[in-house]
Structure 1
Amino acid sequence: MTDSKPIAIIRQTTTVSIAFAEKPSEERRRQLRDAGYRYENGNWFRSEPHSQMATEELVAQVLAA
């Protein structure tokens, strides 16, 4: 029998990036900021984290990948 007790938290982060062909309008820039996007080096981006409790087995699977 395996132990299904959580021993860790595994976090994965995805970055969503938007690069416009031309400077977006002030309204669009406001919408981006309101949605959590930040501007840097010509790109609007935000991180979308996902966390889950992990058992010993899941940690082993992640390490083996």
Structure 2
Amino acid sequence: DESTLSPEEQKERKIMKLLLKIKNGTPPMRKAALRQITDKAREFGAGPLFNQILPLLMSPTLED
């Protein structure tokens, strides 16, 4: 079903997968996902990254 998504939706889904790995993964998984987001930041673009990250940061239930 991912092939039916637009390139923008595929990009957003990839970012969300990486953010979930950072949030819920083991320390090595977190490190790898964070590095991947950092390395691909230009490819993803600022808009899609902020659209995914800002709601997480603004969430009142965000914990360490």
TM-score higher than 0.5: no
TM-score by length of 2: 0.28
Is the radius of gyration larger for structure 1 or structure 2? 1
TM-score by length of 1: 0.27
Structure of greater relative contact order (alpha carbons < 8 Å, 6+ residues apart)? 1
More helix by share: 2
